[in-house]
Structure 1
Amino acid sequence: MSNRLFSSLMCCALVMGLASPGMVWAQAAPASAGLPDFTGIVQKNAPAVVQVEAKYTARRPKGARGMPPMQGMDPGQAEIFRRFFGMPMMPSPEDQARTSLGSGFIISSDGYIITNNHVVDGADTVTVRLQDRRTLTAKVIGTDSTYDIALLKVTGSGSLPAVIIGNSQSLKPGQWVLAIGSPFGFDYTVTQGIVSAVGRNLGSQDQPATSFIQTDVPINRGNSGGPLFNLQGQVVGVNSQIYSSSGGYQGVAFSIPIDLAMNVVDQLKTKGYVTRGQLGVEIKPVDDDVVKALKLDRAQGAIVVTVSPGSAAQKAGLQPGDVIRAYNGRTIDQGADLPPLVSMTKPGTTVPIQILRDGKDKTLDVTIGTMPRDKNAMADIGTSAPSKGADALGLTVQGVDPSTRSQLGLQPGEGVAISNVAGQVAAQAGLQPGDVILMVNQKKVGSVDAFRVATADVKAGDTVLLLVRRGDTSNFIALTVPDDNKEG
């Protein structure tokens, strides 16, 4: 086996040994004059931080996020390099029951909670534990895998303590920041450090549209989804990932900016899904070869490689070879700076893009398009079908949004979208969030109410025939409801 050290971006959930009885702990040094005192921030905000526990009783859906094994690794090594936060506490096959732990924080007194999508992705049940040791069942209101944000909701608990939301755009390298979370299950652990960099794009395939806050705050398994505070006690980020060659914290941690997270939350609450802007270009960094060929003064910007037909870029006149130097007033220092800025732009917004073409500066006004929505994203915004028959099938549905309807070529009033698959029979049949149900027992369903009526009389032992559309393919799928509504 090669001794070459693999350096890998991973989310924090590595199974590691805890402290042994004989371990010697170093004594904390006295506080030095001039260093910040974090006690007030912790006392005020710790009650609004929760430990998130996600339980899986069936095989994880195909759409679940995860880190694939690296080539050349044996199964034992591949297990070590799985996604970090939210990983099972003990290694087990994917189809066995398991539990994962993460962190989260309450953003409103009525029980809305933010955590990472990968903490709860595909979970059958989610519970949160408060500082006063109350354990509450949480409902997953919505998720977005692209930004790795999940919105939870707890009810029946009275008014809850909530954090104060800050402004991540004001962060600067060198500022003190503080994390509260549950690394390795040690709840309400406090760690501190400084902002190492802002606007850090990791170039990952999972999150190409996120500009992270980089810190040296110690982050480990179980911190995922927890809050990052500034010295004013305001949340400025959601702790998400580390960069490590060993699987443990090595001084480099990444948090999702709270401005981005709250944008996701607002969209999940209001329309049930997240839209992102799309320019419609393929780009590459401006490297030394490009600098020489185009006789540029320095390596700055993103050079356009291709322009998609019919895209916002083509309509605005962007061409291959154009060097994008600024987007909506923001300088593009490197290619990775552009995707997050475009993604965060509301579709339909017209923005100025400064380009260099044939050695001359030029500004184009571009009306940003809409990025195709992630079919694995789900949300429940009060349009679900909670009828007894639908519960027996183990399905939750919602109306088909206009974007999905257009992509699938559906007519208005045609079909309902699956937002959650809770039943094992439905999961084993291959149904997934994003699938569209067109018919129930040969009766067309074009609304949540129609689906509710069509499934109202479904009971244990019944077999229901569904016509399901996925992408360009439609297929009949039969579901038999388990006796006594118990799945084995």
Structure 2
Amino acid sequence: MLDFTNDSSGGEPSSQAVKQDAISDQALLDAYSNAVIDVTERVGPAVVRVETGSKTPGARERGGLGSGIVISPDGLVLTNNHVVGSSRQIRLRDNEGIVTEARVLGVDPDTDLALLRADGARELRYASLGNSKSLRRGQLVVAIGNPLGFESTVTAGVVSALGRSIRSVSGRTIEDVIQTDAALNPGNSGGALVSSAAEVIGINTAIISGAQGICFAVASNTAQFVLSEIIRHGYVRRAYIGVSGQTAPIPRRHAVAAGVDNKMGALLAQIEPDGPAARAGLLPGDVAIRLDGVDIHGVDDLIRALDRDRIDRTLEMEVLRMGRLRTIDIHPIERKPSARQGSAP
């Protein structure tokens, strides 16, 4: 008699195999749940609700709500610039309901980040910033914040993409942004995007209205740079040449005549009087295609090239003027922080 109970040639799986698969699936789900729970318990107490505005006696409280993440035991708090806005009256509410006044140490509209310090001597629970360069697509992440005023809300998802670019409120491009499908809603802004190792690897900053599962966070390495600049200088140092411009195509005949490969460049629309560009002899209509050896394929490239390392240095800028290639020496200066407004490069 033939015995088919252990047939592995493609017949129906045995009840024992089905049972083993179910156990394996359950183990995976338990591991996933335990990872999210562990992250929430370790980082959740460091996420605070950020309340801005003021109370008028006899009237409802007016202001905004967002989230923030405490990153040091002495009360340094990272949040979004758009959460803080122009408010100077800020309160932090932790997951125990305790309210602490806070003050703004500095803001950076170009990366939509703000650094606060909680007042008072009470030691706050805090979380550590991780290395966002170590992230991989598909990696588990947990978002913790206060969406729509619902405190200490936790959502989980994965890293959908890395190295994204989004536009900040100042008009400057925020580079190296993390895309995630962890659900975010208004009020999550400024909250923590956390790895399974309970390290903050992003500051939640934006959602796309009408889209499903497309949300963004400023990478923790960017946040680390911004907070160190604010602590040291009170703002983020960047170079400035005094122009406004736009990305524009380069006519092929001009590119061929000049011997360049650029299909696009940064068209200088306006030149500020007495600014570095004006003093260097740049004119409206010039198209920048290279600065200090860096190719410029649009205004975003020009903005990106004007970093703190190019302050107070004489640089070579290559421009097309009336279709002819010119090399101009330019000396960028330090861009002074404006009153929370965007500014030209």
Q: Could you say which residue in structure 1 is the equivalent of 2:161?
A: 196
C-alpha distance in 1 between matches for 2:65 and 2:98: 14
Q: Tell me, what secondary structure is at the counterpart of 2:251?
A: helix
Post-superposition CA distance 1:25-57 (Å, at most 9, x none)? xxxx96479989545443432222222233433
1:345 aligns with 2:301: no
Contact persistence 2:67–2:145 (CA under 8 A): yes
Contact persistence 2:71–2:77 (CA under 8 A): yes
1:222 aligns with 2:187: yes
Q: Tell me, what secondary structure is at the counterpart of 2:189?
A: coil
C-alpha distance in 2 between matches for 1:301 and 1:233: 43
Q: Which amino acid aligns with 1:180?
A: I
C-alpha spacing 1:230/1:346, structure 2 compared with 1 (3 Å):
farther
Q: Could you say which residue in structure 2 is the equivalent of 1:117?
A: 81
1:139 aligns with 2:102: yes
1:255 aligns with 2:217: yes
Equivalent residues in 2 for 1:15-164, closer than 5 Å = 31=28, 37-57=35-55, 97-123=61-87, 125-131=89-95, 133-144=96-107, 146-147=109-110, 148-156=112-120, 158-164=122-128
Task: Indicate which of 166, 170, 179 corresponds to 2:143.
Answer: 179
Post-superposition CA distance 1:226-260 (Å, at most 9, x none)? 1223455433332112222x4xx533323234344
Q: Tell me, what secondary structure is at the counterpart of 2:44?
A: helix
Post-superposition CA distance 1:84-126 (Å, at most 9, x none)? xxxxxxxxxxx96325321111111111111123323354743
C-alpha spacing 1:324/1:96, structure 2 compared with 1 (3 Å):
farther
C-alpha spacing 1:192/1:338, structure 2 compared with 1 (3 Å):
farther
Contact persistence 2:180–2:215 (CA under 8 A): yes
- Higher RCO (CA 8 Å, separation ≥ 6 residues): 2
C-alpha distance in 2 between matches for 1:47 and 1:273: 28
Equivalent residues in 2 for 1:325-340, closer than 5 Å = 325=290, 332-340=296-304
Q: Could you say which residue in structure 1 is the equivalent of 2:246?
A: 284
Contact persistence 2:255–2:261 (CA under 8 A): no
C-alpha spacing 1:146/1:124, structure 2 compared with 1 (3 Å):
closer
C-alpha distance in 1 between matches for 2:129 and 2:294: 24
Q: Which amino acid aligns with 1:189?
A: V
C-alpha distance in 1 between matches for 2:314 and 2:138: 32
C-alpha spacing 1:175/1:281, structure 2 compared with 1 (3 Å):
farther
Query: TM-score, with normalisation over the residues of structure 2?
Result: 0.69
Q: Tell me, what secondary structure is at the counterpart of 1:223?
A: coil
Post-superposition CA distance 1:447-478 (Å, at most 9, x none)? xxxxxxxxxxxxxxxxxxxxxxxxxxxxxxxx
Q: Which amino acid aligns with 1:57?
A: K
Q: Shift in Å at residue 223 of structure 1?
A: 0.5
C-alpha distance in 1 between matches for 2:270 and 2:255: 17
Q: Which amino acid aligns with 1:290?
A: P
C-alpha distance in 2 between matches for 1:43 and 1:362: 60
Post-superposition CA distance 1:279-322 (Å, at most 9, x none)? 223332243x6346534646354344454443334555656534
Q: Could you say which residue in structure 2 is the equivalent of 1:460?
A: none
Q: Which runs of 5+ in 1 are unaligned?
A: 1-28, 59-94, 378-488
Contact persistence 2:44–2:152 (CA under 8 A): no
Q: Tell me, what secondary structure is at the counterpart of 1:162?
A: coil
C-alpha spacing 1:118/1:362, structure 2 compared with 1 (3 Å):
same
Q: Could you say which residue in structure 2 is the equivalent of 1:238?
A: 203
C-alpha distance in 1 between matches for 2:340 and 2:244: 24
C-alpha distance in 2 between matches for 1:134 and 1:273: 31
C-alpha distance in 1 between matches for 2:325 and 2:142: 43
Q: RMSD between aligned alpha carbons?
A: 4.0
Q: Which amino acid aligns with 2:78?
A: I
Q: Which amino acid aligns with 2:163?
A: V
C-alpha distance in 2 between matches for 1:300 and 1:55: 44
Q: Which amino acid aligns with 1:312?
A: P
Q: Which amino acid aligns with 2:276?
A: A
C-alpha distance in 1 between matches for 2:317 and 2:197: 37
Q: Tell me, what secondary structure is at the counterpart of 1:350?
A: coil
- The number of residue pairs the alignment matches comes to 305
C-alpha distance in 2 between matches for 1:98 and 1:48: 25
Equivalent residues in 2 for 1:4-23, closer than 5 Å = none
C-alpha distance in 1 between matches for 2:296 and 2:73: 39
Q: Shift in Å at residue 200 of structure 1?
A: 0.8
Q: Shift in Å at residue 176 of structure 1?
A: 5.1
C-alpha spacing 1:41/1:98, structure 2 compared with 1 (3 Å):
same
Larger Rg, first or second structure (1 or 2): 2
C-alpha distance in 2 between matches for 1:153 and 1:145: 15
Q: Which amino acid aligns with 2:46?
A: A
C-alpha distance in 2 between matches for 1:337 and 1:237: 24
C-alpha distance in 2 between matches for 1:100 and 1:261: 22
1:323 aligns with 2:288: yes
C-alpha distance in 1 between matches for 2:32 and 2:316: 43
